Amino acid sequence: MPEDAAAKLTEAQERIAKLTTEITELKDTADTGLRNEFTVQDAGEATVTLPGPPSEEEDAYDKAMAAKEAAVMAMENGDMATAQAKYLEALEGDCNPMMLANLGNCFLRQKQPANALVCLDAALEMNPDSAKAHKIYTKAACALGDWEGALKHAQLALKIDFDDQIYETEKTLNSKYAAIHALTSQLHVAESDLEFAEKLAKQDQLREQRKKEQEAEVAERAAQMGGMGGMPGGGMGGMGGMGGMAGMMNDPDIQAAMANPKVMAALQEMMQNPGAMAKYQDDPEVMATFAKLQEKFGGMAGGMGGMPGGMPGGMPGGMPGGMPGGMPGGMPGSGMPGSSEPAEEFEVDDVD
């Protein structure tokens, strides 16, 4: 992995670890201080079951209103158990966020914050802008030591309907959690940086892996070329023992050529059949690579024998004894240029 990617990855990891530690320490300090400000109760388990959809009986609504009035009177008298029972009865005929919030308040005042939250969640599901539900939720969350939940609902309640008591609660909570929230925002940025650094590191690993694979492919092809016999006719007399293989492997042009299937196929064909050189004479890519190989290995004695004006050591006049005057000694009786004697004329007897 390149140093830059590794450094970014390490930096992001260290930053996250540092911020996480600082946030944990601040939360512990905040919890200790807030427990001195608010009375925290044992949450217990939620046991309340809310009524289903209101009854469709004709007198259901009237019964619900009567039960609601009884619940209000019971609360005014401080009889929370009766108020709770009457609000549950009223909800059977008319379910609305206000009654659910009041029922939640009954549970809270009976030190049952878990049951209170069930009612308050149902109220806020029906009406997310219920200021009363948010205010009671703030108190219930404080009773459970859920400081962040309490702060959230206090701020929402104040946006909808100002309340002096909720304002003081929000101020107390925010004094402890403002620094925590600032560090939490920094933590989110650091986590995004870490994700980005991990992607960069992964890309670098893939590039390194591909580079090694390509180097291995080049080495394998070079080894295959090194094991071939020399090119007949004074060509490249085999690559084995030339001492230039290491130099070739470090030459970027040679590496690029070795990675080119067309060039490799052409070189292999010319090694096996020197005559194949002719069909690649007009291919600059193949010929440039061949010339580079000869240069790299100090030139081959005898060059590419037989190519007109060919590679170093080649025969300027073409193939030994060959054409300009035709094939060696000409083809007897062929009449081809280069024959030592003119072709003999044949006479054809007349046919009766």
Least Cα distance to 266 among 256, 280, 254 occurs for 280
Residue 95 has pLDDT above 90, yes or no: yes
- Quick one: 165 exposed, middle or buried, by C-beta within 10 A (0-12, 13-18, 19+)? exposed
Q: What is the DSSP string of 278-291?
A: GGGTT-HHHHHHHH
Are 222 and 248 a contacting pair, CB within 8 Å?
Answer: yes
Q: What is the DSSP string of 205-231?
A: HHHHHHHHHHHHHHHHHHHHHHTSPPP
Which residue type is seen at 209?
Answer: Q
Are 153 and 141 a contacting pair, CB within 8 Å?
Answer: yes
Residue 242 has pLDDT above 70, yes or no: no
Predicted confidence band of residue 51 (pLDDT cuts 50, 70, 90): very high
What is the per-residue pLDDT across 183-206, written as a single tens digit (0 to 9) for each? 999 999 999 989 988 888 888 888
Predicted confidence band of residue 145 (pLDDT cuts 50, 70, 90): very high
Q: What share of the chain has pLDDT > 70, as a percent?
A: 76
Question: What confidence score (pLDDT) does residue 227 get?
Answer: 53
Predicted confidence band of residue 240 (pLDDT cuts 50, 70, 90): very low
Residue 297 has pLDDT above 50, yes or no: yes
User: CB-based contacts of 251: which residues, under 8 Å, 6+ apart?
Assistant: 292, 296
Residue 82 has pLDDT above 70, yes or no: yes
Residue 282 has pLDDT above 80, yes or no: yes
